[in-house]
Amino acid sequence: MKNIKLTYLLLIGIVSAAWMLAADFSTYSATFMSLRGFMVDYTGFMSIAVMSVAMILAVRPKFIEPMINGLDKGYRLHKWLGITALVTSVTHFLFAVGPKWAFSLGLLEGGARGGRGPRGAGGQELDALATWLRSQRSLAETVGEWAFYITVILIALALIKRVAYNRSFNFHRVFSVVYLALVFHALILVKTSYWLQPIGWFTAILLIGGTVSALLSLFGAIGGRNRHQATVDKVTRFDNTQQVKIEVTLDGRWPGHRAGQFAFVRFNDTKEAHPFTLSSAWEDDNRASFIVKALGDHTQQIVHSISKGAEVSVEGPYGEFDFASQKDEQVWIAGGIGITPFLARMKYLAMTKRFEQPATLFYCVKEMDVPMIEYVNRAAKNANVKLYIYIEDRDGQLNAEIIKQRVAHWRRADYWFCGPTQFGKTIKSALVESGIAKDAFHQELFEMR
């Protein structure tokens, strides 16, 4: 979380500082219309900047993963940027259009606009370009207004978790068209002088990146270079907990994967890929496996209908949940289907016999599933991992005090958590209050939106 917070604050800081360097505060006259001019410019730059970065993150660029500590963190940053875009675009719209409505209703008297900053480089504008830009202003304002209405609706729907996952992705694709409309709006209405200063250079870079990303989304090319065809070789069902283990053989281009990574998988010819953690270690044999739990309409269909011989598309691998640690030992906490990265890690340890760092696994499930628990127990035994199983219906929910009782050197351990977000927050908060460092707790962010 630390990296995405820093990335978020850095983006906000760069846009704010660059705009302040460009704005001509000598024209500020302490009137509402003067304030309006500055706020329209500032919120406009901020809105298009955060939308552009959100668009870039949406295409899953792998080079960003090390910077934000994994693509799962990138989706959390994407969410924050969406909320910020909602706030700044509403503010931008109200400052831009609100006074016009107030004038028409007689609530405000007319006055000089003022405070819009510099009009040209050294008082001069490129005449031909300026003339053309002025001729397009009315169209750009209309496009921007309608794009704003659609943007607010799409961001709100994307943030509502009750909306089905597939539908939320459709909203994102529609937003690509809306984003391109907002790029046109920005290009026409941003003053020429701004393009000749750092705020303009930074905005131009983001607009180019966002535009390329929007086009990739529209043409269904997101993750195209990382897609691989695979065939289902074996299906193992754990009926008590509505889970299924799917083993596949990938094409020869698969680069291999590390324990803890995940991939976007298209099962049953679905239009959108869903993220699933790889539950197998890489053995240089073009094979991988996933464990899928029936948690919604899409996963219900996979659990009940997937069969041997099915063709699937696998995009990846992604993720930085890599168990890298300099501490004396590791504590793993898995909630339900969150066991998958730990299964991959245990497979890797059993295969390589690298048992130098002691590991303790707390596997938490709601109810007993004997076949699945036996499967996890075998994996832990082969990897020399100490295993504690907590069945909520029988033992209650795991908490920090139980962990401290079971792990002798809990203060000197690194913690790796994968499971429900709130469960992880609760345990982390209690452990941090007990004295562990915040960066000693590594949490896979299960929520992708």
Confidence of residue 446 (pLDDT cuts 50, 70, 90): low
Beta partners for residue 314, in sequence order: 228, 265
Give the C-alpha separation, 209 to 52, whole Å.
Answer: 7
**Mean residue pLDDT across the chain:** 86
Give the C-alpha separation, 247 to 234, whole Å.
Answer: 5
Helix (H) or strand (E) holding 110: none
Beta partners for residue 215, in sequence order: none
Please report the pLDDT score of residue 277 as a whole number: 92
DSSP conformation class of 121: B
Residue 187, pLDDT > 80, answer yes
DSSP class per residue in 29-92: -SSHHHHHHHHHHHHHHHHHHHHHHHHHHHT--GGGHHHHTSHHHHHHHHHHHHHHHHHHHHHH
Confidence of residue 164 (pLDDT cuts 50, 70, 90): low
Residue 85, pLDDT > 80, answer yes
Confidence of residue 342 (pLDDT cuts 50, 70, 90): very high
DSSP conformation class of 440: G
Chain centre distance of CA 218: 19
Confidence of residue 1 (pLDDT cuts 50, 70, 90): low
Confidence of residue 161 (pLDDT cuts 50, 70, 90): low
Whether the pTM exceeds 0.85: the reply is no
Query: Which positions ≥6 away from 30 have C-beta within 8 Å?
Result: none
Give the C-alpha separation, 196 to 208, whole Å.
Answer: 16
High-pLDDT (> 90) share of the chain, %? 53
pLDDT in tens, 239-276: 776 889 999 999 888 999 999 999 999 986 666 788 89
2-218 architecture in CATH? Up-down Bundle (1.20)
High-pLDDT (> 70) share of the chain, %? 88
Confidence of residue 401 (pLDDT cuts 50, 70, 90): very high
Report cis status (omega within 30 of 0) of the bond before 275: no
Give the C-alpha separation, 184 to 170, whole Å.
Answer: 22
Q: Which CATH superfamily is domain 224-318 in?
A: Translation factors (2.40.30.10)
Residue 225, pLDDT > 50, answer yes
Per-domain residue ranges for the chain? 2-218, 224-318, 329-444
Query: Which positions ≥6 away from 285 have C-beta within 8 Å?
Result: none
DSSP class per residue in 214-254: HHHHHTT-TTGGGEEEEEEEEEEEEGGGTEEEEEEEE-TT-
For the segment 283-306, the average pLDDT, to the nearest whole number, is 87
The yes/no answer on whether domain 329-444 falls in CATH 3.40.50.80 is yes
